[in-house]
Amino acid sequence: MTYLEAVKKAVITKNLIVEKGYEDTRFVPLDEIHVPKQDESGGNNPTRYNLDGKNIDELQLALIKPNWTLPLMVVKIIPGGKMINGKTYYYELVAGFHRFEALTRNLTPKWWFTVYDFSGNPEAESDLQALENDHTPRLSMNVQGLTNWLIYQVEKGFIEKTEAAMNKKVNMLKYTPAKTKSLAVNNAVNTTGAYKDVTIRSIKEIKEFLEEDDNYLKNEKTDRKPYSHSGELDAKRLEHGWTVKERYEDEFVFNAIKKFKKTGKTSYFVGHVNVPKKGTVNEARAGMLKNFKKHEDALEATMKYKERTGNWPWRVESFFKQDNHPDTRETFWVDVESVLPKKGKLPI
């Protein structure tokens, strides 16, 4: 190792993702590193389902002048080497598949890697892969990859098969969006059949639930007629049915208004709440009812204003300039009068 290589190693070695299992930071020939094949059913890397071409293109440029303050790609030692298709490899790539592909396309012969030994501790390897994708500039963690990782954690016995254990596990990811973590946990729970305190259904699962006759049985007797969804007309109730998720109450109130204008028929809502951050499921349902009441009160106040003044309590003041065509280029705010036909009425 040259003096400059030693100095560079001293600088970049400080940027470890995790310390457990760390062996060394080495300047490794790329042709000594085995890149495992894609495995959509395994947990070997939560983002490496299909390599993202755009991400690789960007990395090819970024790695010409790398930022050595960021964590390196990770390899693990193959004790004694391993011959694969007539070639001997001494390392296996654990994290950094997009960057490795970018280096390969750049015809880079050697690069700095963080070297780990995970012998007897496969959970540490799996955790490191997730944490590696939780940092920039890596390809961000996606729902599919994180779901796959959680299922792998359960199947290997690293965590219990419960929603609580999965939520605790994803909390180690500080930069992955909360929505991504929530969706992944829900998918993994449904796939593994794990216990969960509150059932959250996707729209596909909601439709399947509504279509299952057994879900309308109570004490082995049919208690009610099946519900409709998505604004479809319920032939038994002669109303339009909507399934409404918590925090989307205003959207579906307006959907019901538009549907009433179109058909003259009323609507009903079947609600489903999110996992409560505090309080009980029933308290969350009560919150939905309060939201519906709030929107109804606002609608009632709006109608009273309309009846009293003849106007709605809102108006369109102007439009932003947006048209850049040479013949019609706009240079100032566009007022309503210039948009409407000469008679001042909207075309039907």
Amino acid 52 reads D
Task: Please indicate, yes or no, whether residues 162 and 68 belong to a single structural domain of this protein.
Answer: no
| Residue 263, domain member (yes or no) | yes
Residues 131 and 163 in one domain: no
What is the domain range of residue 13? 3-140
What is the C-alpha separation between 89 and 102, in angstroms, rounded? 20
Average pLDDT over residues 40-59: 63
318 belongs to a structural domain? no
Task: Report pTM.
Answer: 0.57
Task: Determine the average pLDDT of the residues in 139-143.
Answer: 69
The average pLDDT across 231-258 equals 97
Nearest 5°: phi and psi at 297? -65, -40
- The mean-pLDDT minimum among 54-58, 156-160, 166-170, 215-219 falls in 54-58
List of E strands, 182-238: 217-218, 221-222, 232-234
Query: pLDDT at residue 9 above 70?
Result: no
Is 328 within a domain? no
pLDDT of residue 3: 47
pLDDT at 126: 77
Q: Examine the pLDDT at 171 and tell me if it is beyond 90.
A: no
What is the mean pLDDT of the segment spanning 296-310? 97
Do 128 and 185 have their domain in common?
Answer: no
In a domain, 110, yes or no: yes
Choice among 182-191, 206-215, 228-237, 305-314 with the minimum mean pLDDT: 182-191
pLDDT exceeds cutoff 70 at 48: no
Claim to verify: residue 8 and residue 109 sit in the same structural domain:
yes
Q: What is the mean pLDDT of the chain?
A: 85
Identify whether 316 is part of a domain: no
Please compute the mean of the pLDDT values over residues 162-181 and round it to a whole number: 86
Cβ atoms < 10 Å from Cβ of 28:
17
Confidence category of residue 245, pLDDT binned at 50, 70, 90: very high
State the Cα–Cα distance between residues 87 and 251, nearest whole angstrom.
60
Quote the pLDDT of residue 232.
Answer: 97
Question: Do both 12 and 55 map to the same domain?
Answer: yes
Inter-CA distances, 343 with 277, 312, 316, 339, 346, Å: 54, 20, 17, 11, 9
Which CATH number do you get for residue 52?
A: 3.90.1530.10
User: Do strands 221-222 and 217-218 pair parallel, antiparallel, or not at all (unpaired)?
Assistant: antiparallel
pLDDT for the residue numbered 132: 67
Query: Does residue 330 fall inside a structural domain?
Result: no
**Together in a domain, 22 and 130:** yes
241 and 124 in a common domain: no
Split into its structural domains, the chain has a count of 3
How far apart, in whole angstroms, are the C-alpha atoms of residue 216 and residue 162?
A: 28
183 in the same domain as 94: no
pLDDT for the residue 55 = 79
Confidence class for position 136, pLDDT limits 50, 70, 90:
low
Q: Which residue has the higher pLDDT, 210 or 63?
A: 210
User: Is the same domain home to 12 and 134?
Assistant: yes
Q: Among the listed ranges 126-130, 172-176, 200-204, 222-226, which one has the minimum average pLDDT value?
A: 126-130
Q: What is the mean pLDDT of residues 259-263?
A: 98
Asked if residue 109 is part of any domain, the answer here is: yes
Mean pLDDT, to the nearest integer, of 138-155?
A: 79
Tell me the average pLDDT across 103-130: 84
pLDDT mean over 127-153: 73
- Is residue 93 within 8 A of residue 44, CB to CB? The reply is no
Distances (CA, A) of 137 to 58, 66, 244: 10, 11, 37
Q: What does the pLDDT read at residue 13?
A: 55
pLDDT tens for 76-112 read 888 888 898 888 999 999 888 889 999 999 999 999 9
pLDDT of residue 47: 46
Say yes or no to pLDDT of 11 above 60. Answer: no
Inside any domain, residue 335: no
Judgement on whether residues 152 and 131 belong to the same structural domain of the protein: no
Are 146 and 181 in contact by the 8 Å Cβ rule? The answer is: yes
Query: Do 97 and 14 fall into the same domain?
Result: yes
pLDDT for res 53 = 78
Q: What pLDDT is recorded for position 50?
A: 61
Same domain membership, residue 175 and residue 113: no
Structure tokens at 195: 């216990």
Give the pLDDT of residue 41: 46
Residue 198 is predicted with a pLDDT of 85
Q: What are the tokens at 178?
A: 């909360």
Write the DSSP symbol of residue 25: E
pLDDT band at 244; cut points 50, 70, 90: very high
Q: What is the dihedral of CA 18, 19, 20, 22, to 10 degrees?
A: 110
Q: pLDDT band for position 156 (50/70/90)?
A: confident
CA distances from 239 to 207, 215, 227, 339 (A): 18, 20, 10, 38
